[in-house]
Structure formats: C-alpha cells, structure tokens
Structure 1
Amino acid sequence: MKKILLIGFLFIFAGLFAQCNITGADQIQVGERQQYSAENAIADCVDCYDWSYMDQKIILEGNTHINPLTIKGAVQGNAILSLEIKTVTGTSKCKKSIQVIAPTSKVLDVNAQKCNIEIDAFKEVRISDTNVVLEAIAPNNNFNYQWTVHYRNGSKKVSNEKVGTFAFSNEKGIDLVELNVTGKQCIKKISKTYNHNFWYFF
C-alpha cells in the first residue's frame, strides 16, 4: 500500500512540474534583444525544447531547441511565442504574449530648464514603396526643423522642412534619424535608431 501511495505521489509531483511557464519581458522594442526561459517543466534532455513562432514580429535567434532563448523584436504588434518541451512524463506546452513596440527615441534638451519645446518624438509614414515621411509628433510652426538621415551604406541626407521626405529601400535602409528642433530659447535634439528588419517590414 505504501509503495502504491509513493508511486502515486511521484506521478502527481511529476505532473505538477510538467506544466511549463515562459518567463521574460512582456514588451520588447523593435531591434531590441531579450532572453526568455522555460520554468517548471523538467526536460528529458538538453535539446528537448522546441521554441516556435510563425509570424514576422519577432525573430528567434540561435538554437531553438535549448533553454534559454534569445528573441529580437522585428515588427510592431503582438506576438505569441510557443514552446513545447519533451519531459520524462510526456510533453509540456506553453505560450507567452509579447508586445513589440517602436524603438524609443532618445531626447536631449539643450538648456533644458528654459526649453519650451514639447516635442519628444517623431513618426514614420510610408507614402510609397520607396519614400517615407518623417513628422514630429505635435509639430509647431514656430520652430525650425532639421532632419538628418544616416543610411546603412554610410551616406546621409539632410532636410530643413517641417516634414522630411526621404528615400528608402531594402538595400538602402536607414540606420539613424536625427531631428533638431530649434526654438527661440533652446534646441531640442531627438534621435532614433533602426534595426535591419525595420524597413524590410515597414
């Protein structure tokens, strides 16, 4: 009787740990890398993990059959990361929702205490297959704007329009955009970097 109870307890104990759980950031920026790990499930071998994702919003980097896994944000939106683990008692499955967001702009205020420029970010608007418009969020006609676009091939282009129009392509991707907003009291500098996949899926 004791042996039966012991065996039953072991099966219950194993079953509790068969339910896997994915730990890691709930939110990731485009171009950012984060590490995700499986917990609570005891794998039967080192490479008994099967990470998968069928869309293009995130990229699974490296070996997808080991734990942990590195993920890179590619396209804005919601991604569901799936994992299947071979355990000593069978198969354990779990999923995790990951929100992919736009790269965070870096803002630098010159003479920030007196600066009245409230612009903190800009957006990209695709107007054709080869052209993108860059526009400051909540633009003000009283300010002067200077856009500097740095391309992956080393070239750059400057525009002094309030709304900048720039060419782009898969071969001529944009790595960095710098915006200088000039007011009467100060200059605000805003920059944003892009990973290689941003313009491919843009």
Structure 2
Amino acid sequence: MKQKQIDLIHSLSDYQLKQQLLLSQFILFTLSLIASLFLFDSFKDWLDLFKWQPTQFILYGVLPGIIVILIDLFLMYNLPKKLYDDGGINEKIFKNRTVTEIFIISLVVAISEEMLFRGVIHTIFGYFFASILFALVHIRYLSKPVLLISILLLSFYLGYMYEITNNLFVTIIAHFIIDFFLALIIRFKK
C-alpha cells in the first residue's frame, strides 16, 4: 500500500500534487467544522478554544516548535538518510515550491490538522486517542520506525501543549513553525 501511495504521488505533476494536498486539508478543515457543530454544546464553545494569548504563543507554540526543529535536524544529520526517507514524498511536495507556497501550505496544514485533531478529536475523545490517530493519518511513516516514533512523539508533544493551554492557536503555531522550517530545509538543501 505504501509503495502504491509513493508511486501515485510521484506520477502527479507539481500542480496536481498541490491541488490534492490542499483538497485533503480542505476536507479535514470541513470535517472539523461539521464535527464541532455536532459534538460541542454550541459552536461558541468550540470557538472558545482559540484564545489570543501572545505569551502562550511564544512559550508553548514558538519555543516548542523550535525545539522540535532542532531535534529533527540533529537526527537528520546524525542518522543514516534511509531512516528518514519517506519515499521522497516530502521532497516531491516541497522541492519546487516558492517560499510563499511553502508558507501557505504549512499554514493550511497546521490550521486544518490542529482544528480537527486537537480542537475536535482531542477535546471530545481525549489526548491519547487524538495523538495516536494523528500519527496513523501520516500513513507514509508507519513502515519507517524513526519517522513513526518522531510523528508519535510530535503528536503527543502537540497534544501536551494543548493540554497545558487549552488553546488551539498554540498548537497551530507550533505545527506551522515545524512544517514551515522543515519544508524550507527540504526546499533549499543541496
């Protein structure tokens, strides 16, 4: 199944890949909005998960995001490349993108995934379930132990930041910073 996914992604043009990626994120975003209407007492209760607290953004969003990037960079440069290879999918997604496109993709992914996994699933079904499900959705990492452990730890880490703050802006910021800077590394690496 993984090889089929890799082959399919490599057969897509850059434009088609970007369209598919954005479509999948639109679906996650839509699911989170629909689920919030049915699973929360009111839509306002769900909107209350977005809190404007700049100190939290820095302490629990920006700093954890930077820590994850530094750990990831350490592992990328100290482990054999084959352990970090996702079949070239991330490279295919980001290698030929402009910085603006990478920014937009990273922001869309962070918002849609955090709204669904932390905002709805974590809030309603709990920390553990949301963290495991988040990792499972990243199916291309399941056959790579280092990538699987990384995504599991990241998922639990983001979930923990959400547990501490109960603020979706925090996890969106952390998720965005991680995706954006790691995508830039992919884009500009030689």
Structure 1 length-normalised TM: 0.21
Larger radius of gyration: 1
Structure 2 length-normalised TM: 0.22
Q: Which has the higher contact order (CA 8 A, sep 6+)?
A: 2
1 or 2, which has the higher helix percentage?
2
1 or 2, which has the higher strand percentage?
1
